[in-house]
Amino acid sequence: MKNNIRGLRKAMKISQEELAKRSNVSRQTINAIENNKYDPTLNLAFTIAYLLNTNVDDLFQFEIKENKRR
Amino acid sequence: MKNNIRGLRKAMKISQEELAKRSNVSRQTINAIENNKYDPTLNLAFTIAYLLNTNVDDLFQFEIKENKRR
DNA sequence: ATAAAATGTAAAACATATTTGACATTTTTC
DNA sequence: GAAAAATGTCAAATATGTTTTACATTTTAT
């Protein structure tokens, strides 16, 4: 799962620290997500999308992985 | 965070078990999410939205909680 | 070139999501 | 109304996300 948080954040000219404060998470969390260390929770995804004036579906690029049906 | 998984799933006439299989998660997970016990991960949210022919922003109703800035 | 700000990273503790197995209740089908 | 299918729920174990503290490196501003 990729995302363009960094791009939109920079366009808005705010730091990871600032986005973290507005999102009520730690700076490390924003940093980790921007660097694709892990995905945010659904709640945080919605919060960040809201703060960056976009939506979850546009902010995150989900690649469908097809399912070998059990 | 609310969602309309149950509604779309029933419209599609598949069981929780079937949606679980297609999503590669357990039936209990689908059940818990439909009953708002907890939110799915971002990945699972995207997967379910995809399977139900919708998107994350439409499938989940996120209520913005305003932030008492630190 | 130096100081300040921003970013990267790591480990331990804690929080939340998911699985598995099991059983009870409700709904659907015949 | 009995059987089968679907749904609800619980506990313990595992996986993943988040916080805190701390420090190193990179970038920006002067």
Please tell me the predicted confidence (pLDDT) of residue A69.
43
Cβ atoms within 10 Å, residue A65 = 9
pLDDT digits (tens, 9 = 90+) for A48-64: 999 999 999 999 999 87
Locate the chain A residue with the closest alpha carbon to B17.
Answer: A70
Distance A38 CA to C13 C1' (A): 19
More confident residue, A66 or B12: B12
State the pTM of this model: 0.92
- One digit per residue, pLDDT tens: chain B, 70 residues? 999 999 999 999 999 999 999 999 999 999 999 999 999 999 999 999 999 999 999 999 998 776 654 3
pLDDT digits (tens, 9 = 90+) for A13-53: 999 999 999 999 999 999 999 999 999 999 999 999 999 99
Which are the contacts of A61, defined by CB distance < 8 A and separation ≥ 6?
Answer: A1, A2, A3, A4
Taking an 8 Å cut-off on Cβ atoms, the answer to whether A42 and B42 are in contact is: yes
Q: At what angle do helices B16-23 and B42-51 cross, to 10 degrees?
A: 120
Please tell me the predicted confidence (pLDDT) of residue B66.
64
Taking an 8 Å cut-off on Cβ atoms, the answer to whether B70 and A22 are in contact is: no
**Residue linked to tokens 């919605």:** A46
